Amino acid sequence: MWEPFALPEDNPVFRRIGPLNLWLLRKSGELWIMHDYTENVTPPTEPPSDGIWKRWALRNGDHSTQFKPTLPDKSIMVKPESEIHLLKGSRVRTYTRVPIWILIEVIGETTVPIVEIPTQVLSNTWFGGFTDGELCYWLTTSARRSMPIELIQPHHAVCIMDIRNSSDLDLNLDKICLRVERLSLFDNGGYLWADDTVITYEGIEGDTQIRNDGVTPIEVPNAKKLNEPRHPHKRGLAERAFFLFRDSGE
Amino acid sequence: MDFSIINEFISPDRFERLVIAFVFLAVALPLVYFVRGRIRSVVTKKHSEHYGMLAAKIIHYILMVLVVVIFLTELGLSLTPLLGAAGILGIAIGFASQTSVSNIISGFFLIAERPFSVGDVIQVGPTIGTVLSIDTLSAKLRTFDNRFVRIPNETLIKSEVITITKFPIRRVDVGVSVAYKENLKRVREILLGIAESNPLALQEPKPMVNFSAFNASSVDLLFLVWTTRENFIQIRNELNEAVKVRFAEEGIEIPFPQVVVHDT
């Protein structure tokens, strides 16, 4: 799916990645792209009549196109399957399926990124207080203690969180902010995996160590690196990974 | 033509100073505006537009005073009598312009307290608009129907000012009325479903449906959904439209007053 492919003139090419339907058309020196989302098992045969083509003028010598999987552009709020209590000194390893984005690139003398399209539209949520915080995506699928291979789909990347409670208090895991923009992507036989996020809770809210090493996860040691993180992590920063609203906002 | 009078008034030495002074002015003035622009752009990039404008103004006034002082010195004018005259003039102007002085001082308070910044949307009385600038005497707003409003700084200090864009998230309150016969639990589920399916609605803080009142012909509810400040208007429209459509699909009655006129 991630190999370059040539676009024939005036002949739309269709790709389906999860719920995302994508049409690409090369026409009069331009690249036309249209997309929509359907949950149907049978993919649509024609581009939707009410859809809107987006157009890019190509350079002389642009010969092919390539898809690159990337992780979403904002952090993701994840809920465990059920609330987990981490006793002091304990650790858990959780797995979350995150819908990827598709970066479309045009290849000529140089490779140029054209557009990024999410394979699934995610809702937004707020991580922080009423006066400050950050906008995140909201994931309806939960963080699991294991990830059976039959649950992974081609438009998912499996993100691993290794959560350690180094504090003197128990930690209730209700929601976790997964900073996907700092993760690298790996291909393991058509299944996408991200590197580990190691979260160490020190006991004080706002003082949590988050580490991403960018190395292949131990679950898929032979996976091949596909993509670097959007925003590499600055090491040693203490930050929030857990937050609960204490005010109802009424 | 007799140039002797001009020659007597403008000696070669004085002419030279005059030329130097005006050349200085011609070079200095564009330089002041250039420096002001650079300072504004650098500070805006590093901090915010508010501080960019403020820093540019301070630098502009300092440089302009310097340019005027150097220009007058080059012309050979002594500054001492001018400053004396300015002092007397200042007292006279001070008495005559108490409102302006009040506005200037209020402007300093606005800058120090920073209830809003350039680019914020504020409401002052019935006026809602985006702050274009906070100047010496007044703040300038652009309303959403593209009118220019000037509000004196003193008014801003004295009256209630709502900064609509101060915080990053806002709550959209949608008033919903349903008939007494409707199942409120079902209505609540439908409303929360509408919030869940709208990508602009934040899932945290959680959307809520609160009871509001038993009205004459309806049960009034308040549908509360959080969103980012940028999406406020769009989601308010979308939620109201979605409520109307979903209620029609689910057969939930939105009651409205009806008047029956009997022809006698």
Condensed to tens digits (0 to 9), the pLDDT of residues B6-45 reads 666 667 777 888 888 889 889 999 999 999 899 888 988 8
Q: Which of B203, B226, B227, B229 has the highest number of chain A CBs within 10 A, making it the mutation to test binding with A?
A: B203
Residues of A in contact with B200 (CB under 8 A): 124
Mean pLDDT over residues A7-28, rounded? Answer: 89
B221 forms beta bridges with: B176, B211
Is B223 touching A (CB cutoff 8 A)? no
pLDDT at residue A250 greater than cutoff 60: no
Rg (CA), chain B: 31
Average pLDDT value for chain A:
85
How many CA atoms, within 13 angstroms, populate the side-chain half-sphere of residue B234?
9
Encoding tokens for residue A129?
């207080």
Encoding tokens for residue B55?
């820093």
Is A124 touching B (CB cutoff 8 A)? yes
Q: Which of A124, A174, A248 has the highest number of chain B CBs within 10 A, making it the mutation to test binding with B?
A: A124
Of B171, B205, B228, the CB nearest to A135: B228
Residues of A in contact with B227 (CB under 8 A): 124
Q: Are B165 and B121 in contact (CB under 8 A)?
A: yes
Q: Are A186 and A224 in contact (CB under 8 A)?
A: yes
Encoding tokens for residue B95?
């008495």
pLDDT value of residue A148 = 82
Of B199, B204, B224, the CB nearest to A245: B204
Q: Which pLDDT tens digit goes with each residue over B165-219?
A: 999 999 999 999 999 999 999 999 999 999 999 989 999 899 999 999 998 888 9
pLDDT value of residue B147 = 96
Is B250 touching A (CB cutoff 8 A)? no
| DSSP secondary structure letter of residue B10 | S
Mean pLDDT over residues A211-229, rounded? Answer: 88
* Cis amide linkage into residue B205, ω under 30° from 0: yes
Distance CA B83, CA B68 (A): 13
- What is the rounded end-to-end Cα distance, in angstroms, of chain A? 48
Is B116 touching A (CB cutoff 8 A)? no
Encoding tokens for residue A102?
């598709």
Mean pLDDT over residues B136-144, rounded? Answer: 91
- Of B253, B194, B172, the C-alpha closest to B218 is B253
| Cα B70 to Cα B23, B33, B76, distances in angstroms | 12, 17, 10
Sign of the four-CA dihedral A133, A134, A140, A143: negative
Q: Which pLDDT tens digit goes with each residue over B46-89?
A: 887 777 877 888 888 889 888 988 888 888 777 777 777 777 77
- Of A83, A91, A213, the C-alpha closest to A163 is A91
Contact A125 B203 (CB under 8 A): yes
State which amino acid sits at residue B18. L
Residues of B in contact with A175 (CB under 8 A): 204
- Of A137, A130, A213, A223, the C-alpha closest to A177 is A137
Encoding tokens for residue B170?
């806002």
Distance CA A28, CA A10 (A): 8
Contact A248 B205 (CB under 8 A): yes
Q: Cα distance from A188 to chain B (closest Cα, Å)?
A: 31
ipTM of the complex: 0.75
Of A121, A122, A126, the CB nearest to B204: A126
Q: Are A64 and A5 in contact (CB under 8 A)?
A: yes
Residue the block writes with tokens 């819908």: A99
pLDDT value of residue B45 = 85
Distance CA B201, CA B193 (A): 11
Distance CA A136, CA A75 (A): 5
How many CA atoms, within 13 angstroms, populate the side-chain half-sphere of residue B190?
21
Is B204 touching A (CB cutoff 8 A)? yes
Q: What does chain A come to in residues?
A: 250
Is B193 touching A (CB cutoff 8 A)? no
* Band of residue A234 on the pLDDT scale cut at 50, 70, 90: low
Q: Cα distance from B142 to chain A (closest Cα, Å)?
A: 25
Of A146-160, B10-24, B126-140, least confident by mean pLDDT is B10-24
Contact B228 A124 (CB under 8 A): yes
pLDDT value of residue A245 = 43
Secondary structure in 3-state letters for chain A:
CCCCEECCECCCEEEEECCEEEEEEEECCEEEEEEEECCCCCCCCCCCCCCCCEEEECCCCCCEEEEEEECCCCCEEECECCCEEECCCCEEEEEEEEECEEEEEEECCCEEEEEEEECCCCEEEEEECCCCEEEEEECCCCEECCCCHHHCCCCEEEEEEEEEECCCCCEEECCEEECHHHCCEEEECCEEEECCEEEEECCCCCCEEEEECCCCCCCCCCCEEEECCCCCCCCCCEECCCCCCCCCCC
